[in-house]
Structure 1
């Protein structure tokens, strides 16, 4: 029997409505920070840890913005809208670049499956979507 993997991600939006983005070290793609949820973590703890590990930024998790399933890889991602509370933007072992971006710029740099996570976080209502790792699948 195949099992799902659960990941969490944070769409961190600052007071100027910019979004915090990372360029991943492993594949060079731009995405909101996130990763696999540890067994002993709550969702919020996992988001705080992943954002800190990948960006150096401390956050407050404010709301669930969407649930996404990568149908190709069996990964369920819970994405949360967050606000920065401290820390210093820096690259890490997992990111080659970390930048605050205007929404349009951020969306233009990501594959559709990740761009929709960011745009959904600006909507205020949680979304539920499936994708193939790159493209959102029709409902």
Structure 2
């Protein structure tokens, strides 16, 4: 196999839902100001579940337990495949970080409205009884499959 073939990057997105009130954890990204669920690039030694726990903790201070796979979302422009996992909080204290200028709990409707379509759909999908979903996007908007 050739070493010059294109490679994908794999990331995770944590859709963290508080069980007591159904609110969703979102961050305002420090780099581009977008409102998104926390997440990031998976390291080679990590499982998707380990990665989502680490990324949510690093970005928000919230400790989570993954519940289920919501879907697979591919950014066609960047070649990034993101595995979205529904999670619930089990501890920690919410805080900001180098990656999150704001970390807060909002209603699902507020989160979906504030996020770019490609991220908001992951939140909507987390509340669906269907799935897992496979969706493609350009970084902002969904594309037809």
Tell whether the structures are fold-level matches, with TM greater than 0.5.
yes
Corresponding residue of 1:26: 31
- What SS is found at the alignment partner of 1:39? coil
Deviation (angstroms), 1:126: 1.0
Q: Equivalent of 1:105, from 103, 110, 115?
A: 110
Corresponding residue of 1:48: 53
Gaps of 5+ in 1: none
CA distance in 1, matches of 2:82, 2:110: 23
Matched, 1:130 2:136: yes
- What SS is found at the alignment partner of 1:82? strand
Runs of 4+ in structure 1 displaced over 3 angstroms? none
Calculate the TM-score normalised by the size of structure 1.
Answer: 0.98
Deviations 1:38-95 (A, max 9, x none): 0110110000000000000000000000100000000000000000000001001110
Q: Equivalent of 1:73, from 78, 81, 92?
A: 78
Corresponding residue of 1:4: 8
Deviation (angstroms), 1:2: 1.3
Calculate the TM-score normalised by the size of structure 2.
Answer: 0.94
